[in-house]
Amino acid sequence: MEIKIKEILPGEKKPKPKDESKLGFGKIFSDHFFTMEYKEGVGWRNASIEPYRPLILDPAAMCLHYGQEFFEGMKAYRGKDGAIYLFRPMENIRRMNSSAERLCSPVIDEELFLEALKKLIILDKDWIPKSEGTALYIRPTMIATEAALGVHPADEFLFFIILCPVGAYYPQGFSPTKIYVSEEHVRAVRGGVGNIKAAGNYAASLLASKKASALGCTQVLWLDALERKYVEEVGTSNIFILIGDELLTPPLSGSILPGVTRDSVIAMARSWGVKVTERAPSIDEIIMAHGKGTLKEIFASGTAAIVSPVGQICYKDIECVIGGGKVGKLTERLYREILDIQYGVKNDPFGWRVKIYP
Ligand code: COI
C-alpha cells in the first residue's frame, strides 16, 4: 500500500525543545504522525503521514467504552555518528500483532509497519534529541473506532504512530528508585491480558501507583494475582533480581509482558557468563535474601525505563535497602552496554541495532 505524505507547512512547524536535560517523558510531540484506517471486508486503507493533529472520533467509538485499544513503545536513537538507529523493531511489530490477535483486532503487515515507522522518523528526524540517554520515543497505537455500544469485536479501527522526544522515564534518572510492594492490587492474571500491551492494564495500575507515591515510592512491585506471593513486574517494566550470583526474572507464564529489553538483558547477561534463571522468587525469599546479605541487586527493564536500578523495597512495615542504595555493578554494566548498542557506540554482536538513516 502506498503511504501518502502531506508535509506540514514550514511556518506551522512547532518549536523544538531547547534544553534536552528538561525533556522528561511523553509531553512533547513531533510535527507529523502516521495514520491508517481499517474496515472489516475492506482491510487497511488510507495510510498517510500528515501534520500532527487531534483525532476525530465518534463519541460512541468502541475504544472509548470497552477499551479495545493497545499500543507499543519503541525508540529511535541518534548515534554518535549522526546516524539514526532502531533497536529490535521487528520484536515490537510482532508483539503489536499478538496484542491485536488477543484483542480481536486486525494485524498489520510487518513490512508496511516498518516502512511507515521509517518514513515518519526520517521526516521528523530533527526531533531526535542528541544528548546521552535521550531518544525519540515511538508510540504505535490501535483503537477500535466503530460507533456501537453492543459489546462485540469492533469492525473499524484506526492505527496511528506518534513520536515524542524523551529523556529519562523516571524523574530521578538512573538513580535507584524506591518501590512499594502492592498486596492489595494486582496487575494481571494468567489468561487475562497482562502479557500484551492492552491500554487497560495501565489504567488498572494507577490506584496502586497513587498509593506508592503517597508513601514516597516511585513505583509498584506487583505480586502474582493468585497467591500474592511471587514477584511479577515493577511499575511498567519487567523485573530482575540478583541473588548471590544468579540473576532471576519471572518466566513468561501468561501474566508477564514479554519485554524486548527483558529478552535483551537475558541474552546479554548470559553472553557474559552470568547464570540467568527464569523463575519468580517470592517476596519472602527476597526479604530473606536481604537479611542473609545475598540480595545483591534489583533492577527494572523496559523500553522507556531502559535498565533502572531499584534501591529500596517497602513491603508491609519492612524496608530493605539494596546494595546500600547504590547502583549495582551488573545493573550499571547492562545499562551502559545496552545504551552503547542502541546509540551505535559499540559493536552489536547480537544484531539488534537497525540503522535507518542515512
Ligand atoms: C515502554 O517501556 O515503552 C512502555 O510501554 C511503558 C510505558 C507505559 C511508559
Per-position pLDDT tens, the chain of length 358: 999 999 999 999 999 999 999 999 999 999 999 999 999 999 999 999 999 999 999 999 999 999 999 999 999 999 989 999 999 999 999 999 999 999 999 999 999 999 999 999 999 999 999 988 899 999 999 999 999 999 999 999 999 999 999 998 877 778 899 999 999 999 999 999 999 999 999 999 999 999 999 999 999 999 999 999 999 999 999 999 999 999 999 999 999 999 999 999 999 999 999 999 999 999 999 999 999 999 999 999 999 889 999 999 999 999 999 999 999 999 999 999 999 999 999 999 999 999 999 9
* 124 CA from centroid of ligand 1 (Å): 21
Angle 89-102/110-123 helices, nearest 10 degrees?
120
Q: What is the pLDDT of residue 163?
A: 98
CA distance 249 to 219: 18
Residue 47's nearest CA partner among 94, 3, 101, 16 is: 3
Place of cell 511507515: 116
Shortest-distance Cα residue to atom 3 of ligand 1:
73
Looking at the DSSP assignment, which residues form a beta bridge with residue 4?
Answer: 48
Structural domains of the chain, ranges and CATH numbers in brackets = 4-166 (3.30.470.10), 177-342 (3.20.10.10)
**C-alpha angle 151-154-155 in degrees, rounded to nearest 5:** 145
**Pocket residue to mutate for ligand 1, from 74, 96, 222, 236, most atoms within 8 A of Cβ:** 236
Atom of ligand 1 nearest to the CA of 74: 3
* 272 CA from centroid of ligand 1 (Å): 27
Instruction: Record the pTM.
Output: 0.97
Q: What is the pLDDT of residue 106?
A: 98
How far is C-alpha 175 from the chain's CA centre? Answer: 19
Q: What is the pLDDT of residue 265?
A: 98
CB 120 within 8 A of CB 31: no
Per residue in 115-136, is it b (16+ CB within 10 Å) or e — as a string?
A: ebbbbbbebbbebbbeeebbbb
Give, in order, the Cα–Cα distances in Å from 246 to each of 243, 281, 330: 6, 12, 11
Phi, psi of 200 (to 5 degrees): -60, -25
Q: What is the pLDDT of residue 168?
A: 80
